[in-house]
Amino acid sequence: MTLQDSPFLRACRRLPVDHTPVWFMRQAGRSLPEYRRVRADVPMLEACARPDMIVEITMQPVRRYGVDAAIYFSDIVVPLKAIGLDLDIKPGVGPVVDDPIRDAEGVKRLRDLEPGDVSYVTEAVGELVGELGDRPLIGFAGGPFTLASYLIEGGPSKNHEHTKALMYGAPDLWADLMRRLSAITLEFLKVQISAGASAVQLFDSWVGALSAEDYRESVLPHTSWIFEELSRYDVPRIHFGVGTGELLSLLSEAGADVVGVDWRVPLDKAAQRVQPATALQGNLDPATLFAPWEAVAERTRDVLTRARAAEGHVFNLGHGVLPATDPDVLTRLTEFVHQETARS
Ligand code: CP3
């Protein structure tokens, strides 16, 4: 098999596969004891800047689960840190920003990302591609709304009230912020693609907080620009957000090859909401993995059955692996999906 013939890349391109490919959002991380061991004395953002740690942590779930793709170990705020913003990732909390961005002065602090700011990404991706062989590496970045929310709120937010206040109250400043964040995200993805990543996922995780009209007006033009720019490269583009039932058609309109669906929308319904010639990724509820195996198997079969309505399917959870998940269940789930979908 060659990399381009891998089930993951073929499914993204809506080509026939000999089994449905599997990977898990947040497959690298706290649910793995080997991850906790290597991270024990190393703060998250330091780990994200060290090629040796990046390579080891990216490979851990590949070795353990036998997933069909690796996802580059990093975080959505890494490029923001790399341009000099004062932010950190607090364990159990997420990204926190000391001096949130809420005015024109703040927005001006967002300069362009230069490839040299993230040379460790180039180095780590290069090593990973060598180690992974015919298994694809997924590069990723945060979507502009989700990044803006962390920067404006100063940390995780339930209601995104400061973010929406800026979006509704200062549309020109908002557009400037979106343009700068989109340029940073695009550059971060380009660095990963140039170094050998063979697909990319844009995580605009929190866009589900927006109405379809607000999304169309205030986010879609920027995301469309990112996907348009990425179309010059021969890499499948995946677009994902949480709670996006009402937004799926717009998420798809933004131009992705694959739309990631959370667990709230069955894949057969999702297939009707996306553009023609779009593959789907998802969407087992990550909480299912805490139920007895019979329930996991039954719900997984349901996802696989509904996925037949899609033009191409990449099996995943509907959001990231929860930290307390038993890794053995993920190993079993990977094997189960491979067996259930095996075509000779
Ligand atoms: O998927 C993977 O395995 C690749 C690694 C990855 C991380 N973050 C590592 C991480 C990816 C793809 C991300 C993306 C990310 N980061 C998103 C989008 C995906 C999603 O979940 O919607 C978001 C919103 C963030 C912001 C962020 N960073 C959060 C919410 C957290 C968790 C806070 C917590 O500790 O509960 C982080 C920290 C983070 N990113 C960890 C990891 C492994 C945990 C850090 C630790 O081990 O202390």
95 bridge partner residues: 89
Give the sign of the dihedral formed by CA 255, CA 261, CA 265, CA 270: positive
Distance 308 CA to ligand 1 centre (A): 30
- Pocket perturbation via mutation, ligand 1, pick of 23, 67, 76 by most ligand atoms within 8 A of CB: 76
Domain containing 68: what range?
3-340
Amino acid sitting at position 225: W
129-172 pLDDT tens trace: 999 999 999 999 999 999 999 999 999 999 999 999 999 999 99
91-117 pLDDT tens trace: 999 999 999 999 999 999 999 999 999
Ligand 1 atom nearest to 240, measured from its CA: 22
Compute the distance between CA of residue 237 and CA of residue 205 in angstroms, rounded to an integer. 15
The pair phi, psi for residue 261, each rounded to 5°, is: -120, 135
51 pLDDT exceeds 80?
yes
**CATH number of the domain to which 217 belongs:** 3.20.20.210
- Per residue, the 3-state secondary structure of 35-54, as one string, reads HHHHHCCCCHHHHCCCHHHH
Question: Percent of the chain, pLDDT > 90?
Answer: 99
315-343 pLDDT tens trace: 999 999 999 999 999 999 999 999 999 98
184 pLDDT exceeds 80?
yes
Ligand 1 atom nearest to 39, measured from its CA: 47
Cβ atoms 259, 270 nearer than 8 A: yes
> Nearest residue CA, atom 47 of ligand 1?
30
SS3 percent helix, strand, coil of the chain, rounded to 5, is 55, 10, 35
The per-residue pLDDT for 81 is 98
Selecting among 14, 26, 299, 332, the annotated active-site residue is: 26
Amino acid sitting at position 140: F
Compute the distance between CA of residue 66 and CA of residue 64 in angstroms, rounded to an integer. 6
Distance 114 CA to ligand 1 centre (A): 23
Mean pLDDT in residue range 193-214: 98
Residues with CB under 6 A from ligand 1: 25-30, 39, 44, 71, 73, 75-76, 89, 91-95, 140, 146, 203, 205, 320
Q: How many domains does the chain have?
A: 1
The per-residue pLDDT for 1 is 87
The mean pLDDT value of the chain amounts to 98
Active site residue 72: no
Residue written as tokens 């309505």? Answer: 309
344 pLDDT exceeds 90?
no
Chain centre to alpha carbon of residue 86: 23
Does the N-terminal peptide bond of residue 316 adopt cis geometry, omega within 30 degrees of 0?
A: no
> Nearest residue CA, atom 33 of ligand 1?
94
Give the sign of the dihedral formed by CA 298, CA 300, CA 304, CA 306: positive
